[in-house]
Amino acid sequence: MQNLIQRSLTATIFVIVFLGSILLGKITFILLCYAIMVGCLWEFYDFYRESEHPPRIIRGFLMGTAIFLLTAFLALHLSHLLLFSFLAPIFFLFPISTLIYNKKESLISSALTLMGIFYCVIPVCFFLWVGFMIGNKYNIHIILGPVFFIWFNDTGAYVFGNLLGKNTMMEKISPGKTWEGFIGGALSAILLAWFLSKYFHELNSIQWMVLALIVVISGTLGDLVESLYKRELKIKDSGKFFPGHGGVLDRFDSFLMSAPFIYFFLTLIQK
């Protein structure tokens, strides 16, 4: 009973803060994205902190912050593509820095550091940019749609998986995920997309439903990828930031994997 109360309280606070940050405007949305990036990157690096070849955490966060700020400035029209082009040399500053610390680190340390950037920073930057893609200005609906799809997919997958689940998707990685749950979650998200299309007019009904399916497929893959990491490391949760729910990566694994696909789809339909 106490655990249920803890989980419910955590979920309520999370939803209020998360949705509130989006609804309050573009600055709080950007701050929310940065908080997600920091939390995910910290937990990813923490996975390997005690390993034989730990990641270079400080340099990883500096690079991640630089990439994020350049993306935010471009979205807010505070910079242009010339400044954004600084991303290219920023990426190469890291391997160059290994020349200074070559006696203290290995190529594996460098690879893990860069993996954290690609896994945690780049997807958040894609999602930040998605919020400014429609009409080249901040758009709440195009942010809330995919967020709701992920939540409805998770809920539908849980309900249908418990009621009908028999055939596991990848038993060795995540024995709790079933094909019946996946289909139930997908149908829930697509139904929501049709409903949202009546009120969110940035996309037509077909486009919203296709986007929902893209979010479901990529989000499920994101969940499985994180489950694979945790299984290899023999840990249950990525962290303890959300009492009763696990860590930041546990809450945003689907979000990280789906963000680049959302960006790609919206780019295609706008062309």
> Tell me: the pLDDT tens digits for 133-183?
887 789 999 999 999 999 889 888 888 888 876 788 777 777 778 888 888
Residues of the chain with pLDDT > 70: what percent? 83
> Tell me: the pLDDT tens digits for 48-99?
887 777 888 888 898 899 889 888 988 887 766 666 666 667 666 666 766 6
**Burial class, 102, CB count within 10 angstroms (exposed 0-12 / middle 13-18 / buried 19+):** exposed
- CB distance 159 to 184 below 8 Å: yes
For 51-60, give one letter per residue: b (16+ CB within 10 A) or e.
eeebbbbebb
Residues of the chain with pLDDT > 90: what percent? 35
pTM (global) more than 0.85: yes
Nearest Cα neighbor of 246 from 269, 223, 213 is 223
- CB distance 97 to 13 below 8 Å: no
In total, how many domains does the chain have? 1
The domain of 117 spans 2-270
